[in-house]
Structure 1
Amino acid sequence: MKAVIGSTVVAEAPTEELVKIEGNWYFPPSSLDEGAFEKSPTAYHCPWKGDAQYWNVRSDDGVAADGAWSYPDPIPTAFDRVGQDFSGYVAFDKSQVSLGE
């Protein structure tokens, strides 16, 4: 699966390497175009996943502000709920980033 902004692929991984949580696909850190991601100051806390890190995502077409998020250090009980460790995996704002094959 690919995460694309305009014509720029910002993440790509086989579907079996992704984690689906609450309708969002989370990409493994190794699948990201590292140069496309810049930390955002936006704060969010999920009661069962923990503190999120938001990311501004850069592409040739501009910047998707808060276009992605991850959980660098999820609450450990979340691993049982999800079925695996998803630390650092990144999900995308579907209104700004297209997901597809």
Structure 2
Amino acid sequence: MTTATWNGETIAESDDTKVVEGNHYFPPDSVRRDLLSASPTTSVCPWKGTASYYSLTVDGQENTDAAWYYPAPKDAAAEIKDHVAFWRGVEITP
């Protein structure tokens, strides 16, 4: 079971993450949506497409843009559509 934790709280856990460029992408239904809030931030990857971001809030502390996903990835990255990856201090334990 791969888990994503931050500030002592499990954010996501799954036996079916997709690893792309060293990042674990968690299936949408394995992520705790109650800890996420949409961010206006986006970024562009030449082969995956445009990423959208979420901020995390745990125990009143916010981790801005700590998660990202591809709502409409390019064909080469279709397998990670809507899957969520983490960074900015979020610990991933495979």
Q: Distance in 2 between matches of 1:60 and 1:21?
A: 30
How many angstroms does 1:61 deviate by?
A: 5.7
Q: Deviations over 1:51-80 (max 9, x none)?
A: 10111011126111110100011012334x
- For the pair 1:99 / 2:92, whether they are aligned, the reply is yes
Task: Map residues 1-101 of structure 1 onto 2, 5 A cutoff.
Answer: 1-14=2-15, 17-60=16-59, 62-79=61-78, 85-93=79-87, 95-101=88-94
Q: Distance in 1 between matches of 2:18 and 2:30?
A: 13
Alignment TM-score, normalising by the size of structure 1: 0.85
CA contact (8 A) 1:7 1:60 kept: no
CA contact (8 A) 1:7 1:61 kept: no
Alignment TM-score, normalising by the size of structure 2: 0.91
Query: Residues 55 and 65 of structure 1: is their aligned pair in 2 closer, same or farther, counting only changes over 3 Å?
Result: same
CA contact (8 A) 1:53 1:72 kept: yes
Q: CA RMSD in A?
A: 1.3
Q: How many residues align?
A: 93
Moved over 6 A (4+): none
Q: Which has the higher strand share?
A: 2
Identical counterparts, % of pairs? 35
Gaps of 5+ in 1: 80-84
SS at match of 2:80: coil
